[in-house]
């Protein structure tokens, strides 16, 4: 039986897939988890929490995040958008692809969760050929995300 460990960023808790390395970045508001497989095809999962203005609706905030990602990443193609839930809150899942100097192509799958005055992003990335094998794992991490706070 493999064990998922849990890491907390404030009151947000993320489950780490068995065997993955973890580290904190920035002022501690970011958790980075990396698959340990010793090659360039390793997947990475990152949880970030940022302030958001509540002047924007949840949908508008998610659209804004996706648009700003597209402005920063050349030739990013959005493959899929899905309205879903994370820990009982509305979330938008975004699947995208872009060319990458090192990997050829990189797939990003993000769950964007607006939660009051904060925006939580679970970002999973993997070189394109590895996406199909990791997609269920990415979804499992999203399903285990616990947001804490008030509902």
Q: List contacts with another protein (CB under 8 A).
A: 77-82, 95, 97, 99, 103-105, 107, 127-133, 135
Least distance in Å: CB of 91 to another protein?
A: 15
Query: Is the CB of 107 or the CB of 112 nearer to another protein?
Result: 107
Least distance in Å: CB of 85 to another protein?
A: 15
Whether 79 and 62 have beta carbons less than 8 Å apart is answered as: no
Least distance in Å: CB of 63 to another protein?
A: 12
Environment class of residue 55 by beta-carbon count within 10 Å: exposed (0-12), middle (13-18) or buried (19+)? exposed
Query: Is the CB of 11 or the CB of 132 nearer to another protein?
Result: 132
Write down the residue that tokens 């095809």 correspond to: 41
Least distance in Å: CB of 148 to another protein?
A: 28
Query: Is the CB of 67 or the CB of 81 nearer to another protein?
Result: 81
Q: In whole angstroms, what is the distance from residue 7 CA to residue 4 CA?
A: 10
Query: Is the CB of 107 or the CB of 120 nearer to another protein?
Result: 107
């Amino acid at each position: 039986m493999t064990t998922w460990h849990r890491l907390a960023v404030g009151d947000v808790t993320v489950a780490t897939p068995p065997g993955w390395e973890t580290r904190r970045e920035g002022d501690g508001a970011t958790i980075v988890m990396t698959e340990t497989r010793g090659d360039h095809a390793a997947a990475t999962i990152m949880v970030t929490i940022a302030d958001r203005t509540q002047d924007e609706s949840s949908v508008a905030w998610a659209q804004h995040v996706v648009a700003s990602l597209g402005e920063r990443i050349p030739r990013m193609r959005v493959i899929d958008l899905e309205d879903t839930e994370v820990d009982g809150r509305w979330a938008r899942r975004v699947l995208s692809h872009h060319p990458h100097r090192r990997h050829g192509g990189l797939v990003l799958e993000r769950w964007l969760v607006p939660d009051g005055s904060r925006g939580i992003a679970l970002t999973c990335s993997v070189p394109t050929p590895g996406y199909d094998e990791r997609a269920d794992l990415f979804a499992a991490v999203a399903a285990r995300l616990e947001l804490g706070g008030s509902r």
